[in-house]
Structure 1
């Protein structure tokens, strides 16, 4: 039932309560009058010396009491109805208040998302202005080296951390692996999955696996992300700054091309990594629902493994969220100076023969 329907129902209940209370009050007045009439008749019967007159007055008193009792019963029934209507009205008022609160919260959330989106657009515009001269000066050879699909298999390091067990990181990695396995160029993609990821997993993965893409799924907040400790029990996790994460990713002869943060409020972290070294990074402008995060990640890597550009893969992920009725404005693609994500293709089927 909508808020408008609840409000109309509340008005109906309040009117019914008011009408029942008014009718009950009228009956109580009549009841009181009849009881006064009964008392007067009793008194008159006691004062008269005529037996017949006394008997008539007593019968008159009995009729008045019976009438008073009926008025009383009817008034009680109406008072009970009024109380029931009042109880229903109170429940409706609570439901309306809760719905109005939820509506205000949704509006505030949408406003926050819009503000963050505006901030993202401003950052993108600032990046475009700042990089315009560098784009011109950048050599075509360097641009072709980044844009061209890699001759080697694309290596994706997937890190999942949920120290309190409240995120479906295992499900996310399963969805991604299935999406890649169903893609055209599945044989050109290699995935190293590290669940319950610690900072040591990050460093080992960078050094040994030498990933082209680093994907982190877990908790984030502005320029902070949370890894796990190497313990069996649930715990609060280990907070890592965007700077420390960037330092770990840079500690290799071949730093990753793309960093993906499938974590709440991670757009600032994506910007920080692009400012430090990464050509491309993806983050979320606000808190993202688990289901939206799963849909985005699966569509992103499916598109990458089908030979699409990073920009098209990002748009495919957003479209997957929108098709499922989610908040598709949240994913944000940050690009380094001189980098055009529409030309960056990470996977291509190698020539045969």
Structure 2
């Protein structure tokens, strides 16, 4: 992530520039150190050679002095001449050694001067590098502070969104705590495009269960067998249901509807997200969504996360008979004025009494929703 720091500079760009400068400086320092070592070695070599020549010069001058002394002491003219010639040769060699030594001493002095300049240059470069490292550290510290502030702001925004969501949830709870003075509207959707489910039988069982309940006059249905995606949208907008009941095939995050054709077919799928969007696209979204279909527990969770106070799904594949038993007992309990918690428990008990898998139905609830306090039928 790119983090803005002072002066409008991006940390990523600053780091890239610093790294480039650091590499360049490091190469330059390495070269200067090598040059310094070369100059210091050359100076030492020149001084050593000059010292050797000075030693030779001194020896030759001593030889010349001794030869002159011998020439002065001898009485032989030829011997004296020979010694003087020997002294001249020694003195000439000494002068040569002295001249060469002087030249080397000049070179050594030059190497020393160049080495001194390099030492000054290296010291300055090292000081600059230290300052650059300090600036880079300061930039990193400011970037860390900026990132920390960003995270604090993000947490604050998240907490604000959570607070708003909780407030909306509380409003929804208050809205469903006591049913309005109107009939409970149930949109019944059934889809079995391959003709392998007893959709009609299920809806007949539900109607019969409601018709024999205490508050049957407080419940009305919009029944849409062979339901298509259009039926879902029209049913939500026109009927404004409090409960949407879907019976058919499902899987995690997918619901299967029928297509508008006469023969058996594979059907068409609607995602949990799209299903939620359709149900929520109204001024009065449904209070309860029931998926009487296989593998729909996660779909129920998705709808609760999006808008619904409560939703029912199945944790695994469910048999036709178990699905019918759950639905009949659920709606019978609701129409008899029981709470949502009791109605869900009655549905599971309806499966258990016929020896079915009664732990499959799953009730998903919005944050703070108390199913024991939710009653969907207005008791006269």
TM bracket, shorter-chain basis: 0.5 to 0.7
Query: Aligned match of 1:145 in 162, 175, 183?
Result: 175
Q: Distance in 2 between matches of 1:136 and 1:235?
A: 43
Q: Distance in 2 between matches of 1:179 and 1:155?
A: 15
Corresponding residue number in structure 1 for 2:119: none
Matched, 1:193 2:242: no
Corresponding residue number in structure 2 for 1:289: 319
Q: Is the 8 A contact 1:217 1:263 kept in 2?
A: yes
5 Å matches for 1:303-342? 303-342=333-372
Query: Aligned match of 2:244 in 214, 223, 227?
Result: 214
Runs of 4+ residues deviating >6 angstroms: 132-141
Please report the RMSD computed on the Cα atoms of aligned residues, expressed in angstroms: 1.9
Q: Is the 8 A contact 1:134 1:337 kept in 2?
A: no
Structure with higher Rg: it is 2
Corresponding residue number in structure 2 for 1:260: 290
Matched, 1:247 2:314: no
Q: Distance in 1 between matches of 2:258 and 2:294?
A: 17
| CA displacement, residues 203-222 of structure 1 (integer Å, 9 cap, x when unaligned) | 00001000000000000011
Q: Distance in 2 between matches of 1:139 and 1:283?
A: 21
5 Å matches for 1:62-77? none
Q: Distance in 2 between matches of 1:139 and 1:203?
A: 24
Residues 1:341 and 1:207: Cα distance change in structure 2 (over 3 Å): same
User: Structure 1 unaligned runs (5+)?
Assistant: 1-131
Matched, 1:278 2:308: yes
Which has the higher relative contact order, 1 or 2, with Cα contacts under 8 A spaced 6 or more apart? 1
Corresponding residue number in structure 1 for 2:214: 184
Q: Distance in 2 between matches of 1:172 and 1:241?
A: 24
5 Å matches for 1:97-246? 143-246=173-276
Question: Once the 2 structures are TM-superposed, how far is the Cα of residue 251 of structure 1 from its aligned partner?
Answer: 1.2
Q: Distance in 2 between matches of 1:166 and 1:245?
A: 23
Question: Once the 2 structures are TM-superposed, how far is the Cα of residue 338 of structure 1 from its aligned partner?
Answer: 1.4
| CA displacement, residues 87-134 of structure 1 (integer Å, 9 cap, x when unaligned) | xxxxxxxxxxxxxxxxxxxxxxxxxxxxxxxxxxxxxxxxxxxxx999
Q: TM-score, normalised by structure 2?
A: 0.55
Q: Is the 8 A contact 2:190 2:199 kept in 1?
A: yes
Question: Once the 2 structures are TM-superposed, how far is the Cα of residue 144 of structure 1 from its aligned partner?
Answer: 3.4
